[in-house]
């Protein structure tokens, strides 16, 4: 989500006539888009601002802008701690970044943090902003902002606000425009994508009779037929997957409690939707899941995984897990190990719990787990995970997988790297250079813990996007 916000901020400044640079020494404006979900975000921000202060002491014309969710959380504190910052803005007023910098030039340093998203007069969603995408054939599409859940470890609800879904028709139009510009893969983004559109459906049911809102534009043609109070995510997957030119649809993140049969059916029946499900588990202990306010048990999670595997052929499963959440006992951790062993994940993001100031769990100091204990548990979990990751990768040997070519391998530039529909990296040789964004069939010939090796069989689609040539200098 933050990376996509960075693209939108870059898009706004470029639309205002600025040119990007990789060199801090050349920059006239530095924008730091912060993320307080990351560990040590505060230290990193204030450390970077300290470095920028020495630059600004040498070049007083350098302008410094801080946005993102740490700015939303810290607000005026940033300018108190770092008086050389020109502008601080929050997560709900990204669209005002350029305007705020202009204002700061005449009136001096300023902070603008809004507590709610700014809505268009006639829409339910913040204005669409110009975007600079780093990769021409892939695009993120925000479908929802905010989150209505209250996971005890998470700062998102307090810095991103309540859930607001982008209108259905707006998203589909955006994907059509992306496809027309050569994008072939889109990732739908939201904090809890499985509840996408529930707010729209509820609003429309209340207002439709006396309003002139077009239900198909706001909620899609399928909803207009049944008009039930329900999530629109499965409908959206089908509609986005049907856009001409879109070969792959991914999404992140779903919440297990809201992940339902209709999404499984849409994934199975929509050819473009990739066979990859990232379903954050967080813990395998019912006691810890309850303390986290996750809204499901380990058994319910396992039932959803079983239903997804039953419904979707060749599905890869990945997850997130937190080790050492306050109060986690050996028994609780053992439950997590059991879920990992039973599911056999393809991969997982594993985190040792670290408190995020402002969250409920950060107050549970009397139940914090000793760090050495968490590290030991993490090692045990990784051993279980590595077994399943390796097995799942080895099981692909001999298959022909379609990959989208990303470019030369980072480890061995003589090889190319591609990504399968299951989100696995494959390294392979090609007698000819192949443009990033090309789709190719590759026979899988080897597997390791984290990637695959293959042999090129056939090019199936060449990209149509134009290659951007970086601007190195202007006169």
Nearer to ligand SF4, 155 or 452 (CB): 155
Count of residues near ligand SF4 by CB under 6 A: 10
On whether the CB atoms of residues 292 and 325 are closer than 8 A, the answer is: yes
Tokens of 121: 């007069």
Nearer to ligand SF4, 111 or 318 (CB): 318
Q: Which stretch binds ligand SF4 (CB under 6 A): 147-155, 267-275, 362-370, 392-400?
A: 147-155
> Pattern of binders to ligand SF4 over 372-411, x per CB under 6 A?
----------------------------------------
DSSP-assigned states of every residue in 74-91:
HTTHHHHH-TT--EEE-T
Does residue 157 belong to the site contacting ligand SF4 (CB under 6 A)? yes
With CA atoms as reference, report the closest residue to 168 among 112, 101, 102, 243.
243
On whether the CB atoms of residues 283 and 326 are closer than 8 A, the answer is: no
Q: Which stretch binds ligand SF4 (CB under 6 A): 150-158, 203-211, 429-437, 449-457?
A: 150-158
Torsion of CA 75, 81, 87, 90, to 10 degrees: -20
CA gap 58, 161 in Å, rounded? 39
Does residue 156 belong to the site contacting ligand SF4 (CB under 6 A)? yes
Could you tell me the smallest distance in angstroms from the CB atom of residue 258 to ligand SF4?
Answer: 9
CA gap 369, 328 in Å, rounded? 7
With CA atoms as reference, report the closest residue to 217 among 195, 239, 234.
239
Tokens of 45: 């921000």
Tokens of 171: 């998203």
User: Binding residue for ligand SF4 (CB under 6 A) from 1, 147, 288, 302?
Assistant: 147
Could you tell me the smallest distance in angstroms from the CB atom of residue 348 to ligand SF4?
Answer: 15
Q: DSSP letter at 468?
A: P
Could you tell me the smallest distance in angstroms from the CB atom of residue 329 to ligand SF4?
Answer: 22
Q: Which stretch binds ligand SF4 (CB under 6 A): 142-150, 242-250, 333-341, 392-400?
A: 142-150
Tokens of 443: 């026979």
Nearer to ligand SF4, 151 or 317 (CB): 151
Nearer to ligand SF4, 67 or 256 (CB): 256
Could you tell me the smallest distance in angstroms from the CB atom of residue 43 to ligand SF4?
Answer: 22
The sign of the torsion formed by the CA atoms of 121, 122, 124, 129 equals: negative
Does residue 344 belong to the site contacting ligand SF4 (CB under 6 A)? no
Does residue 149 belong to the site contacting ligand SF4 (CB under 6 A)? yes
Nearer to ligand SF4, 223 or 251 (CB): 251
How would you list the strands of the sheet with 316-323, edge to edge? Answer: 276-278, 316-323, 347-352
Could you tell me the smallest distance in angstroms from the CB atom of residue 192 to ligand SF4?
Answer: 5
Does residue 192 belong to the site contacting ligand SF4 (CB under 6 A)? yes
Nearer to ligand SF4, 144 or 388 (CB): 144
Could you tell me the smallest distance in angstroms from the CB atom of residue 110 to ligand SF4?
Answer: 29
Does residue 154 belong to the site contacting ligand SF4 (CB under 6 A)? yes
Could you tell me the smallest distance in angstroms from the CB atom of residue 86 to ligand SF4?
Answer: 30
Could you tell me the smallest distance in angstroms from the CB atom of residue 149 to ligand SF4?
Answer: 4
The sign of the torsion formed by the CA atoms of 361, 367, 368, 372 equals: negative
Does residue 191 belong to the site contacting ligand SF4 (CB under 6 A)? yes
Could you tell me the smallest distance in angstroms from the CB atom of residue 200 to ligand SF4?
Answer: 19
DSSP-assigned states of every residue in 396-428:
TTT-EEEEEEEEE-SS-TTSEEEEETTS-EEEE
The Cβ-side half-sphere exposure at 208, using a 13 Å CA radius, reads 17
State how far the alpha carbon of 391 is from the alpha carbons of 346, 422, 440, 454, 459, in Å.
8, 15, 24, 17, 28
Nearer to ligand SF4, 11 or 157 (CB): 157
Nearer to ligand SF4, 156 or 339 (CB): 156
Tokens of 261: 């049969």
User: Binding residue for ligand SF4 (CB under 6 A) from 255, 304, 356, 396?
Assistant: 255
Q: Contact residues for ligand SF4 (CB under 6 A)?
A: 147, 149-151, 154, 156-157, 191-192, 255
């Amino acid at each position: 989500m933050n990376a996509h916000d960075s693209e939108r901020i870059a898009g706004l400044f470029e639309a205002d006539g600025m040119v990007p640079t990789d060199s801090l020494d050349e920059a006239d404006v530095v924008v730091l888009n912060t993320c307080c979900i990351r560990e040590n975000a505060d230290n990193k921000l204030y450390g970077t601002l300290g470095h920028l202060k020495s630059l600004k002491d040498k070049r007083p014309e350098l302008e410094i802008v801080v946005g993102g969710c740490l700015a939303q959380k810290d607000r005026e504190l940033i300018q108190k701690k770092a008086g050389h910052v020109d502008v601080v803005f929050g997560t709900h007023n990204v669209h005002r970044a350029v305007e705020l910098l202009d204002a700061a030039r005449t009136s001096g340093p300023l902070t603008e943090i809004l507590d709610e998203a700014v809505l268009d007069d006639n829409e339910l969603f913040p204005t669409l902003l110009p975007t600079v995408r780093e990769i021409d054939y892939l695009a993120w599409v925000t479908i929802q902002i905010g989150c209505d859940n209250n996971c005890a470890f998470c700062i998102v609800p307090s810095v991103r606000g309540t859930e607001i879904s982008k209108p259905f028709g707006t998203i589909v139009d955006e994907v059509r425009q992306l496809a027309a510009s050569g994008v072939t893969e889109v990732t739908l983004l939201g904090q809890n994508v499985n509840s996408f559109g529930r707010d729209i459906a509820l609003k429309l049911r209340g207002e439709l009779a006396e309003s002139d809102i077009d239900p198909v534009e706001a909620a899609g043609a399928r909803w207009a037929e049944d008009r039930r109070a329900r999530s629109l995510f499965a409908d959206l997957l089908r509609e986005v997957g049907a856009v001409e030119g879109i070969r792959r649809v991914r999404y992140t993140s779903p919440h297990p409690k809201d992940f339902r049969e209709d999404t499984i059916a849409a994934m199975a029946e929509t050819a473009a939707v990739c066979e990859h499900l990232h379903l954050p588990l967080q813990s395998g202990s019912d006691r810890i899941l309850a303390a986290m306010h996750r809204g499901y048990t380990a058994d319910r999670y396992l039932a959803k995984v079983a239903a997804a595997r039953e419904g979707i052929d060749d599905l890869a499963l990945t997850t997130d897990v937190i080790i050492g959440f306050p109060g986690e006992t050996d028994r609780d951790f053992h439950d997590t190990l059991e879920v990992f062993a039973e599911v056999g994940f393809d991969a997982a993001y594993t985190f040792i719990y670290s408190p995020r100031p402002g969250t409920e769990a950060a107050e549970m100091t009397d139940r914090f787990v000793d760090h050495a204990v968490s590290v030991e548990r993490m090692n045990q979990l990784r051993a279980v995970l590595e077994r399943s990751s390796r097995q799942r990768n080895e099981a692909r040997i001999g298959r022909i997988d379609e990959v989208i070519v990303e470019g030369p391998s980072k480890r061995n530039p003589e090889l190319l790297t591609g990504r399968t529909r299951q989100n696995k990296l494959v390294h392979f040789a090609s007698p000819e250079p192949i443009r990033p964004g090309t789709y190719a069939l590759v026979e899988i010939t080897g597997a390791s813990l984290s990637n695959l090796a293959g042999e090129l069989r056939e090019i199936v689609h060449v990209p149509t996007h134009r290659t951007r040539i970086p601007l190195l200098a202007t006169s």
